[in-house]
Amino acid sequence: MAVSTADFDYLRQLVHNHSGVVLHADKTYLAELYLQPIAESAGFSSIAELVTYLQAQPFGSLHTQAIEALVTNETSFFRDVYPFEALKDFVLPELIEKRAIERSLNIWCAACSNGQEPYSIAMLINEHFPVLANWSVRLIASDFSSKVLARASKGCYNQLEIKRGLAKPLREKYFQKLSSDWKIKEVISQRVEFRQINLLQSWSSLPEIDIIFLRNILIYFDIATKKALLKKVKQHLRPDGFLFLGSGETTINLDKSFKRVQFDKGICYRLHDAESRTINV
């Protein structure tokens, strides 16, 4: 069902105000594809009626449903592979050596979507770093969407999702077949701590982080929002920590506090210095 320019402009502003995501004007197909079921479920005959209702009402659950439907949640296991190779071969070995006395690590997946990224990290740790079994390792996975967090915490994936990026040995070892779906086993799921965090709002509940995965997120934000998020990263990342961004993302021309570091084909970012850092944001 076609969405008018005026209605889509309202939806774009709604999404931007509450998630920071910028929807371009040529993305009307997202509304046409994903909002019709919401409109019908709420008793409206069209998306236009739904939008009229949203415009007239205070922000509520229906607004949240519309926003979550319009924000992309594309992900896969071990997506782009090279960051995970860098994590395994360089980043974790370095941090394990540096944290040998305190024996603790904090890792944060800042927009975990349906959970494939944090579960990939958990499997990698389980496979390659038995030394961490007796450490305090917090793997925090967050998203602004309660809907995707609920799905991520269940750890169930269909046949198409399970094949994307996940090697068969890992599937056989860490997943249980349930009818047509695959459910991740407790040995991995118990490693991940899911939280609802809107990146535009406070991060004050987070501890200092050793490794931040903020991958394939900045591309959806405008420049001002990107700079604000990197400022928050700077305040929560430990001085010798690591920031992973998506392959098409960078801190260049956004924040001079970060330097680009390359480990073979994997790229990440580190702080130039650790001056004037605070935790309350």
- For the full predicted model, state whether its pTM sits above 0.85: yes
Higher per-residue confidence, 26 vs 9: 9
Q: How confident is the model at residue 1 (pLDDT cuts 50, 70, 90)?
A: low
Q: Work out the number of other CB atoms within 10 angstroms of the CB of residue 232.
A: 18
Structure confidence at residue 277 (pLDDT) = 41
When pLDDT is cut at 50, 70 and 90, the band that residue 75 belongs to is confident
The listed CATH number (3.60.70.12, 3.30.479.10, 3.40.640.10, 3.40.50.150) that belongs to domain 82-271: 3.40.50.150
Is residue 85 within a helix (H) or strand (E), and if so which, with residue range?
Answer: helix 82-86
- CATH 1.10.155.10 positions along the chain are 5-70
pLDDT over 70 at 281, yes or no: no
- Looking at domain 5-70, which of 3.30.70.20, 1.10.155.10, 1.10.260.40, 1.10.10.10 is its CATH number? 1.10.155.10
Alpha carbons 91 and 89: distance in angstroms, whole number: 7
- 187 or 3, which is more confident: 187
CATH 3.40.50.150, the chain: domain bounds: 82-271
Q: Average pLDDT in the 76-105 region? A: 96
